Amino acid sequence: MTARRQGMTALTLRERLALRVGMRLALALTLALTLATALNALPAAFAATPPAAALPALSPADQQRADKLAHGLRCLVCQNQTLADSNAPLAHDMRNLIHAQLAEGRSDAQIMRFFEDRYGDFVRYDPPFKPITWLLWLGPFALLALGFWVLLRTLKRRAGARAPLTADERARAARFLDTGS
């Protein structure tokens, strides 16, 4: 049986050729749009932070401040490392931002506020104690207290659940202790 007899339509040579051309055209258009978007975003990516060579030299005191700030901020790529410890490109860019802002004369609080405004409280390695972070700060202690309460309650139930020994059980225990069997 042919495909036409089963109710299925077979594509003609012209239809298959049109389908291939259409698919290739769609792929080419997708690639062109992706490339255009990437090239459009490229200057913005490089303009966000000045290259390390373009950054002015910092005084030793400002360099210590930069190190302190880098140790107080979290790498958003690594998440369990500070900016100072991370080798991620984003961490490098963030360290350059710290350097540039210190060179502009901004205070540590202004720089921290800049990163908090840009990335949220998560960027700080020690998040502030405020209502939105209460669960983060108090959660471990609450879970510890809950675990302790469950332990005490379980121990009390076990202690109260034991029935006193009957006379037969006492006699058997005494024989066991006396003879060892």
Tens-place pLDDT, residues 129-167: 888 888 888 999 999 999 999 999 988 888 776 778 889
124 forms beta bridges with 73
Burial of 40 (0-12, 13-18, 19+ CB in 10 A): exposed
* Confidence (pLDDT) at 161: 67
* Confidence (pLDDT) at 6: 52
Q: Show the DSSP H helices in the chain as ranges.
A: 13-47, 60-72, 89-103, 108-119, 134-161, 167-179
Which amino acid, one-letter code, is at 2? T
Instruction: Give the orientation angle of helix 60-72 with respect to helix 108-119, to 10 degrees.
Output: 30
* 94-141 pLDDT tens trace: 999 999 999 899 999 999 999 989 988 888 888 788 888 888 889 999
Q: What is the pTM of this model?
A: 0.50
Question: Phi and psi of 160, rounded to 5°?
Answer: -80, -20
- Taking the C-alpha atoms of residue 127 and residue 141, their distance in angstroms, rounded to an integer, is 17
